[in-house]
Amino acid sequence: MALFHIDSKVHKPNHGLALKYAQEWCERGFRFNREAWSEIVETANEKKEQLIKYGLKNPDSPKQIEWFLRSFNSLEIAAFMYDLKKGGWDLTVDALCEVAEKFTGIPEITTLYEYKQAMAIARSFLTLERHLKGGDIVHPKVKTTSTNRIMFVEPFLSGLPKQCKPFAPINKDGVLLSVDVKAQEPNIIINWFGSPSLRAIASTETDIYTGVAKAAFIPRVRLIEGAGKSITPVYQGLAWVWGKGDTLLHIENIHQSSLLAPPKSAIGVFESGERRELPIKWSTENKKTGEMVGELELTDEIQDNMTFRLSEEARSEVKEVWNMLAYGGSLGSAKAHCTILDGNALVDHLKKELRITSKADNGDILQTYFGTPILSDKRVNYRSARNRIVQGTGADLMALLIERFYSEQRPDGVDIYLTRYDELVIEVPWSFFNSCGEASGVKEYFTEVFEHQVDDFTPFKVDIDLF
């Protein structure tokens, strides 16, 4: 099998057929993973005991957690955890994850995050366990949303966290695989609404948000060297990409630099092992310090010889602004969201690249890229309209993939277990693994089945891993 080519004028999604298959999955049922539940409960108990030894008597009490974090006498921790909008400390699992990653030298904070994460997953398991009527098989109901997404309810399966491994194969000699369509909605937005330059980024960059950051912030470069150093037009080592102001890159030779980690305002870093002579025009910017500033054009040739890594903080910000604008959010709110990046530069760039307009693209009648009507009982604003037609197009693609899977000859015992938004969970017998020789053979098989291209869109790739 080759890449699945979808012609939007010929291939039309059959949502009725997809729903029929989903109903069959519910009748078969989903096996509750008691082993995974026991493991996560054990982990939670272990972490709780550690926290009690650290002095946190009740790790479920927000007041005690706040006191516990304050005990480290770090104003930086307090500033990091305080949420101005809420007017208090942000003690969510996501916030604790960020503070644990930032303050890696404090194991007590890491343990607190691990406990809260384990408890969140354990609660998801409890939601499932309550719906078991003897045995280990749960039979949810299935419905479709106004955008034709398949949803499993009573219990709600589609909203379970990714870290949760709630299900086990129906057949005990099997294994569950996750087939995740990579960046499905961004890909739809890029190819449907985006500019040619944005589509070019999507086809060449492995991560779209990294590509957007590079395009928005790195067309020109200013280089800084500290006083007292020999000024030579040579790049070797690290180049930090700054998020705000006129200075976009800070170049330092790695053997001279004490700057071994990016500052808070850094977008990312260029790195290269090659010694490259670059034409730089130097001038003295600060007469007191003797700081030297050079200017050059960061050409495509130079970029091709350097690797750029976007920082996690900056990537998260680019993604948030992208989602706000891609689905019709206000320009002002998007700009205000930026704390690391230059909001004006990023928003102005994406406004042009995403071809932001003030009206819904399809007027009052909403339809997907494939022409599937989107039902609505009321007039929707631009943001909601864009959200619905993109989400509906994703549902169209999932229906087409389900139909393709069941129309093709497939090995015995290989079946769809369930779907979650842009993810298919597949049950595969171990005998299929053995017949393929190794895991790479299994990945190759499902890659050929599920990777697809719509018209002249950038191909939709899939990530395949154990569920």
Taking phi over 0 as left and psi of -120 to 50 as alpha, with beta for the rest, 215 belongs to alpha
Confidence band of 246 (pLDDT split at 50, 70, 90): very low
pLDDT band at 245 (very low <50, low <70, confident <90, very high): very low
Residue 178 and residue 97 share a domain: no
Residue that finishes a domain, picked among 79, 108, 129 = 129
In a domain, 135, yes or no: no
Handedness of CA 52, 57, 63, 69 (dihedral sign): negative
Q: What is the dihedral of CA 149, 150, 152, 157, to 10 degrees?
A: -60
Asked if 200 and 257 sit in the same domain, the reply is no
Query: For residues 161 and 353, which has the higher predicted lDDT (pLDDT)?
Result: 353
Residue 155 domain-assigned? no
Q: Which of 129, 145, 179 is the last residue of a domain?
A: 129
d(CA 240, CA 251): 7
Q: Residues 261, 409: one domain?
A: no
Q: Which tokens go with 262?
A: 């990016």
Q: Please tell me the distance from the alpha carbon of residue 321 to that of residue 399, in angstroms, as a whole number.
A: 29
Most confident option among 183-192, 229-238, 325-334, 340-349 = 183-192
Pairing type for strands 452-454 and 4-6 reads: parallel
Contacts of 106 (CB under 8 A, 6+ apart): 72
**Stretch 432-451: mean pLDDT, rounded?**
85
397 and 283 in one domain? no
Tell whether 51 and 82 lie within a shared domain: yes
443: in domain: yes
Do 291 and 390 lie in one domain? The reply is no
What is the pLDDT at residue 310? 78
* Paired residues of 426 in beta bridges: 177, 416
Gap between the Cα atoms of 116 and 93, Å rounded: 6
Please indicate whether residue 442 or residue 282 has the higher confidence score (pLDDT). 442
Same domain? For 236 and 302 the reply is yes
Among the residue ranges 31-35, 72-76, 393-397, the one predicted with the least confidence is 72-76
Sign of CA dihedral 258, 262, 263, 265: positive
CATH number of the domain bearing residue 426: 3.90.1600
389 and 293, same structural domain? Answer: no
Q: Is the pLDDT assigned to residue 75 strictly greater than 60?
A: yes
In a domain, 139, yes or no: no
Asked if residue 437 belongs to a domain, the reply is: yes
* Domain final position from 84, 109, 129: 129
* pTM for this entry: 0.78
Task: Assess whether 288 and 330 both reside in one domain.
Answer: no
What residues contact 162, with CB distance under 8 A and at least 6 apart?
none
Least confident stretch, 26-30, 242-246, 393-397, 400-404: 242-246
Q: Is residue 277 part of a domain?
A: yes
Same domain, yes or no: 246 and 342: no
The parent domain of residue 344 ranges over: 195-207+313-353
Alpha carbon 67 to chain centroid, angstroms: 32
Say if 251 falls within a structural domain: yes
**Euclidean distance between CA atoms 296 and 221, whole angstroms:** 6
Alpha helices, H only, 3-106? 15-28, 34-54, 62-70, 75-81, 93-102
Q: Please state the domain count of the chain.
A: 4
Q: What is the enclosing helix (H) or strand (E) of 172?
A: none
Higher pLDDT, 223 or 447: 447
Same structural domain for residues 261 and 348? no
Position 345 in a domain: yes
Give 26's contacts (C-beta < 8 A, 6+ positions apart).
139, 140, 141, 142, 152
pLDDT given at position 253 = 39
Query: Does 6 share its domain with 54?
Result: no
Distances (CA, A) of 39 to 36, 122, 166, 216, 393: 5, 10, 12, 45, 38
